[in-house]
Chain A
Amino acid sequence: MNTPNLNIKAQESQRYDAIVIGSGMSGGWAAKELCEKGLKTLVLERGRNVVHAKDYPTANDLIWDHPHRNTTHPDVARENPLVNRYFFDPSTEHFFVKDDVHPYVQKRPFTWIRGYQVGGRSLMWARMVQRWADFDFKSNLEDGNGTDWPIRYEDLAPWYSHVEKFAGVSGNRDGLRQIPDGEFLPALGDMNCVEKYFKQFVESNYPERNVVISRSANVSQPHNGRVCLRRNLCRRGCPYGGYFSANATTIPAAEATGNMTLRPHSVVHSIIYDENKGKAVGVRVIDANTKETYEYFSDIIFLNAGSLNSLLIMMNSTSNRFPKGLGNDSEVLGHYIMHHNYRSGAAAEVEGYTDKYYAGYRPGNSYIPRFRNYGQDKQNNFLRGYAYNFQAGRSAGNLKPTDEPIGAAFKEKFTELGPWTVRAGGMGEILPNYNNKVYLNKDQTDQWGIPLLETDVGYTENDDNMAADMKNTAAEMFDAAGFKNITTWDGNNPPGQDIHEMGGARMGRDPKDSILNGFNQMHAVKNVFVSDGACMTSSACQNPSLTYMAITARAANYAADELKKGNL
């Protein structure tokens, strides 16, 4: 590593109150909150800038405008087996990291889907935003897996409200303990008639099982100048700001304060620790294009590089004081990586309701909150539980093998509305496990000379048993509801495809077995805060982004207050 010769003047001009590393789901929130608290804030983003609306080149494309009808070229699919597993196609590919551009090493198969640009993966996410339950913050304590969360639901509740009000969350107030109610805009739409039937069936036959409309970070009515036209093209970037992305919301809000400096193309090499001061003093950055090194200095540093990349930066920030990575006295850094178990589920056909249909799009599905190991339910072969992403729908195509294979009748059958189908995909909690880990590869570096990350993450017996139950229970409910032609799957697909990788720098009560305290502050380096998914102590089974946002807003407000008090 060549440390550039920076004179004092240059250092002064590169001084800020705060530096935020990362500009996505959580980094955008850190930037907004710190800037609104009056802190001069530098936001470092390793990728290019993506300006809301202006940089969504495919947002209004129609499928026939594309020569290949928005289908990925077979060579591109073959060259990108990892990213091609997610919503990667010609209309979205400019937001995804192609496999060979930023390699990583998989000791066990792990799919790491990344979006290196301002806004990160907040541009392409699935927008499901259930709050965590009170018991989710206590599961580790109760069953002894992982360490106890240093916070409880009550600590986070006001911050859930804070981020929901700004982000715009649509949903019903369902009154369920598993997914507490929040500050909701009206739901995006009602359930369709088959979903309503299934809700009624499930809720009257299974105590403590519910079917609700998923809370979604789409705005069902005009909200802060944003509107959702129900185009259902969210992942291309929405020029109307119909859903929450950092680009459409937090980054412009931070910019509006006049306190933000956004520096794209800034690959963070490491955080600079000053042993005399006993704290971090700045960040070492490599310009992605010129490969020149710069140093930026600040009073506080927020690490929001996107879970695994935040871990990579911590591990690469070594010093005499921290030879095993910044803040890693406990040596748990990189361990207890979690994700969500999305392996299995069931689908079926529904007889009847052939005179019913729906109009328009509802860019969100229905949701069956956790019911396993909850209330009176007790499973004997797995801990914790799962939710289902549930939907019913109808598509064109009403062909049977005996129908005419060509001609007018064939075409008519192909355009005719087919039967109703239902689908429930499980979303399971993963236990914190020491052996699920990431670390720096000893031999290989990237094009900026930074070690590659190596992933060693896999399923455990708890996950296998839960996957089997997710599949079988969905099939049982469909069968009991009278649905036909039930199919089930357990793809046993490599972890990571859910894009919920988290943990590795967990929050905890004891510096001996955790990296961060209850305010996402490093136990050992008080002016460094980690508030993206890396901070997670357990995974629950809810989609995690809303919780990252709330945790980040809370941590940023705490950090700004501590700084003003002179405590950092």
Chain B
Amino acid sequence: MDRREALSMMGIMFGGTIIGAPAFLSGCTQSRAKPVLSESDIVFLNEVGETILPATSSSGGAKAAKVGEFMNTIVTDFYTDEEAIIFADGISTINEKSNNKYGDTFVKLDDKKKHELLLELEKEVQLSDDTASHYYIMMKQLSIWGYFTSEIAAREAFYFDPTPNGYDACIPYKKGDKVMFSPVGSGGALNYALMSSNQDKTA
């Protein structure tokens, strides 16, 4: 797999290129000021996150992990104005699609309809030439990033022991056993994504 394919696969599976990659959207003309997300936007984003990474019997979901607040922080602090505009416009676009299809805003849909709608966006992204600058990919990436670096994920979706005070080199593992949470470095979720895709290691 070449780098382009790998990135494209990562884009589909894990949510686009690394946010803040150089010249991510360079050349775009800035049409208006950087948008400020509202409380209701954050509620909306928590619902998007929860649809991607829902609560299950074994662990809390993205809403409990407050990924909406995390998305707001990253969009405010890290995103360029152009990226933030695409992101904020995406909130309106999803609500328009929701209204057209189901006659209600996204937040008010039941879980099944939310899931259906996001699956449609997944298909739309797969047909897109520029997955990295698609609002849905931004939301999906931030959901994954925010959730898999949250305390809820560390303590519920994973096994977390900050001071193991020992190392057991070989233990049995069966499907369903919890995996050690990795506390190291930046973006554990991104590392998981890189490790589990077959992407070219020179990338």
What is the interface of chain A, defined by CB distance below 8 A to chain B? 62-64, 67-74, 77-78, 87, 89-91, 188-193, 196, 229-233, 347, 354-362, 394-399, 401, 405-408, 410-412, 414-418, 421, 485, 487-491
Contact = CB atoms under 8 A, between A and B. Distances in A.
Contacts of A408: 54, 56
Contact of A417 (B78, B179, B182): B179
Contact of B164 (A64, A359, A411): A359
Contacts of B182: 395-396
A70 B186 contact: yes
Contact of B122 (A406, A416, A491): A406
A74 B188 contact: no
Given A230-B163, A357-B171, A360-B166, A63 B74 contact: no
Contact of A359 (B22, B53, B168, B183): B168
Given A233-B183, A362-B167, A418-B196, A357 B172 contact: yes
Interface in B173-203: 173-175, 177-180, 182-188, 191-193, 195-198, 200-202
B93 interface: no
Contacts of A62: 151, 154, 162, 183
Given A71-B187, A233-B183, 18 more contacts: A62-B162, A188-B167, A190-B167, A229-B164, A230-B165, A230-B167, A354-B173, A358-B169, A358-B170, A360-B180, A399-B196, A401-B9, A401-B12, A405-B12, A406-B51, A411-B157, A487-B198, A487-B202
Contacts of B188: 63
B64 interface: no
Size class of the contact patch on chain B: 35 or more
Contacts of A193: 169-170
Nearest to B198: A485
A397 B74 CA distance: 23
A406 B119 contact: yes
Nearest 7 Cβ contacts at the A-B interface:
A74-B20, A397-B196, A360-B164, A189-B167, A357-B173, A190-B169, A397-B192
Contacts of B53: 406, 410-411, 414
Interface in B1-31: 9, 12-13, 19-20, 22
Contacts of B141: none
A69 B171 contact: no
Contact of A398 (B146, B186, B187, B196): B196
B168 A69 contact: no
B113 interface: no
A359 B167 contact: yes
Contacts of A73: 20, 77-78
A414 B168 contact: no
A234 to B, nearest CB: 10
B52 A410 contact: yes
A358 B13 CA distance: 27
28 contacts: A62-B154, A63-B149, A63-B154, A63-B188, A64-B149, A68-B78, A70-B187, A72-B186, A87-B185, A188-B167, A190-B169, A231-B183, A233-B184, A356-B171, A357-B173, A358-B167, A360-B168, A360-B180, A361-B164, A362-B167, A396-B182, A401-B9, A405-B13, A407-B54, A410-B52, A410-B53, A412-B56, A489-B200
A64 B154 contact: yes
A397 B14 CA distance: 11
A355 B157 CA distance: 19
B187 A192 contact: no
Interface string B137-172: 000100011101111011001100111111111111
B92 interface: no
A355 B149 contact: no
Contacts of A189: 167-169
A67 B73 contact: yes
Contacts, number: 189
Contacts of B12: 401, 405
B180 to A, nearest CB: 7
B115 interface: yes
A247 to B, nearest CB: 20
Contacts of A356: 170-173
A232 B165 contact: no
A187 to B, nearest CB: 10
A487 B200 contact: yes
B118 interface: yes
Nearest to A92: B185
Nearest to B175: A416
Contacts of A358: 167-171
A446 B158 CA distance: 49
A347 B144 CA distance: 25
B13 A491 contact: no
A474 to B, nearest CB: 12
Nearest to B156: A415
Nearest to B22: A78
A362 B78 contact: no
Nearest to A487: B201
Most buried by A among B61, B171, B174: B171
B170 A418 contact: no
Given A229-B164, A395-B182, A399-B196, A489 B172 contact: no
Given A406-B119, A489-B202, A491-B202, A414 B173 contact: no
A87 B180 CA distance: 22
